Amino acid sequence: MEYKELIEKESKYLMQTYRRKPVYLVSGKGSYVYDDAGNKYLDLVAGIAVNTLGYAHPKLTAAVETAVKTLHHTSNLFYTRPQVELAQKLVENSPFDRVFFANSGAEAVEGAIKLARKYWWQKGEEKYEIISAVNSFHGRTMGALSATGQEKYQKPFRPLVPGFVYVPYNDLNALEKALTSKTAAVILEPVQGESGVNPADPAYLQKVAELCREKNILLIFDEVQTGVGRTGKLFAFEHFGVVPDIITLAKGLAGGVPIGAVLAKEEVAKAFEPGDHASTFGGNPLACTAALAVLEEVLAPGFLEEVLDKGKLFYTLLADAPGIKEVRGYGLMLGIELNFPGAGRVSEILLAKGVLINNVGEWILRIVPPLIITREEIREASEKILLAVKEAGVDGAL
């Protein structure tokens, strides 16, 4: 299908919920994607932190092919080996005891919220309030949207699910004041991604964990974006010296095959009983086989150390450059804050230069490339980013 015809049909047949870039992608290899005209783009978006192993990775490709040729889906009414092996792999490489598989990050957050409420209901305690952070992002389903602390996403869809309270991020006093006898859980992202790659203060997260233990409140970390090696650790909470009661995973877990997961400690996980929660597609053999292939690579000796080193290389090449106020984040989840409102323009310029990047508003660029990106590609990307920032800032901004 030609580009023009594709655009016309997209406009006619699809609900117009996305502001798409004018690019018709048809294939990918490694860290690059290719459009219908054969143009090559270095991908710093990776499906928004999803394509952990980039494109056409031989192990992921072989895993998916094997699953499709044997058993790609069956309901959760039956046992399947990939699902059990994936759960075992996640448990053995984490401080958690049990896993529930969903289809997406939003569904994983829904599952975590339900698990927290069920946990207290089962104990006979009327605790249902969930405290979330301002500028958080937990998904677009009604429960996850209600947990999301951003008015712009919530306003058209009110009334929201009741029982959610929002407090400023990194503000312990505000959190303490928001606690009530009804507080069931606190849900936080260790690094807020959608609002501009804002890491939590480690001391803040440690105090929150202490407070939750002291007040008998569950702590949930939303690691949908930060999990599975994105920050240079298998889980971002490892950077902060804090272990939550529940975490959610999704984006990078199966490298582009849809999957979500809720991991919890035994004491909490056992609150879920047959019939409490379910998913038709969640954890099917195809998704779990793909996730096993991804985890095998991510957990290979030296892989996560490489992610940390490559993140540091990005930082070294970009920090303190003209037009850039700050580079922040962990591993290969970085935010570049500009000192002028031109992130959208920089993104457009980079597109023309063959680099895909995500801008969060007009001040921040988000870098979440495939974790297999090479140092040479990082140098290429950084050089083009600096040129684009300079070009966008020509109008007296720099």
Q: Is 245 a catalytic residue?
A: no
3-state class (DSSP) for residue 192: strand
Structural domain includes residue 248: yes
Structural domain includes residue 263: yes
Structural domain includes residue 64: no
Residues 316 and 384 in one domain: yes
Which of 299, 332, 350 is where one domain is finished?
A: 299
Confidence band of 396 (pLDDT split at 50, 70, 90): very low
User: Is residue 395 scored above 90 in pLDDT?
Assistant: no
- The residue to which tokens 């056992």 are assigned: 270
Residues 286 and 314 in one domain: no
Structural domain includes residue 270: yes
Q: Which CATH number characterizes residue 322's domain?
A: 3.90.1150.10
Which of 248, 278, 299 is where one domain is finished?
A: 299
d(CA 136, CA 149): 5
Quick: pLDDT tens for 27-37: 999 999 999 99
Structural domain includes residue 295: yes
Task: Name every residue whose Cβ is closer than 8 Å to that of residue 237 and which is 6 or more positions away in sequence.
Answer: 190, 205, 221, 223, 243, 244, 247
Q: Is 201 a catalytic residue?
A: no
Residues 227 and 295 in one domain: yes
105 annotated as ligand-binding: yes
Which of 281, 299, 317 is where one domain is finished?
A: 299
Quick: pLDDT tens for 4-25: 999 999 999 999 999 999 999 9
Residues 382 and 244 in one domain: no
294 annotated as ligand-binding: no
Task: Name every residue whose Cβ is closer than 8 Å to that of residue 193 and which is 6 or more positions away in sequence.
Answer: 49, 137, 225, 226, 333, 366, 368
Structural domain includes residue 391: yes
Give the residue from 264, 261, 292, 297 showing the smallest Cα distance to 81.
292
The active-site residue out of 127, 233, 251, 384 is 251
Give the domain range for residue 340: 3-57+301-395
Q: What pLDDT is recorded for position 394?
A: 67
280 annotated as ligand-binding: yes
Q: Which CATH number characterizes residue 222's domain?
A: 3.40.640.10
The active-site residue out of 96, 100, 101, 137 is 137
DSSP assignment of 231-300: TSSSSGGGGTT---SEEEE-TTTTBTB--EEEEE-HHHHTT--TTS---SSTT-HHHHHHHHHHHHHHTS
Quick: pLDDT tens for 158-206: 999 999 999 999 999 999 999 999 999 999 999 999 999 999 999 999 9
d(CA 360, CA 300): 32
36 annotated as ligand-binding: no
Sheet holding 40-43, edge to edge: 25-29, 32-35, 40-43, 355-356
Residues 219 and 318 in one domain: no
Residues 43 and 145 in one domain: no
Residues 143 and 186 in one domain: yes
Q: How far from 120 is each of 96, 128, 307, CA to CA, in Å?
A: 19, 8, 39
Structural domain includes residue 133: yes
Q: What is the DSSP letter of 135?
A: T
223 annotated as ligand-binding: yes
Q: Is 222 a catalytic residue?
A: yes
3-state class (DSSP) for residue 345: helix
Residues 79 and 50 in one domain: no
* Domains: count for the chain: 2
Residues 324 and 354 in one domain: yes
279 annotated as ligand-binding: yes
Residues 253 and 361 in one domain: no
The active-site residue out of 43, 127, 221, 222 is 222
d(CA 345, CA 319): 19
Residues 169 and 261 in one domain: yes
Residues 17 and 149 in one domain: no
What pTM did the predictor assign? 0.97
Sheet holding 218-222, edge to edge: 98-102, 260-264, 246-249, 218-222, 183-188, 129-133, 164-167
